[in-house]
Amino acid sequence: MALPKIADARNLSDEELSEKILATKKQLFDLRMRQRTGQLENKTHQFKHARHELAQLLTVESERQAANGASSQSVAAEE
């Protein structure tokens, strides 16, 4: 299974992005719980995929917040 591409995350709407972030955090939590209880055998690569996807989603979210902050500051400066 290939790692997800950041372009996929950039195509999501803000609402979809937030939902995907929550879902990925829940997935990581579930993976940790399954690992601790011994139910996760030979599938530790799923951690890498989930962490990678979460990092991409959080990066896109912070990029959007920075862009919105910069645009609102430029509007305030023009007034």
Per-residue model confidence as pLDDT tens digits over 14-70: 999 999 999 999 999 999 999 999 888 888 889 999 999 999 999 999 999 999 887
Q: Is residue 52 part of a domain?
A: yes
What predicted TM-score, i.e. pTM, was given to this entire model? 0.81
Question: Residue 15 belongs to a domain with what CATH number?
Answer: 1.10.287.310
Q: Does residue 77 lie within any of the structural domains?
A: no
CB burial readout 36-62, b (16+ within 10 A) else e: eeeebeeeeebeebbeebbebbeebbe
Residue 79 lies in a domain: no
Report how many domains make up the chain: 1
Nearest to 5 by CA among 47, 65, 59: 59
pLDDT at 4: 80
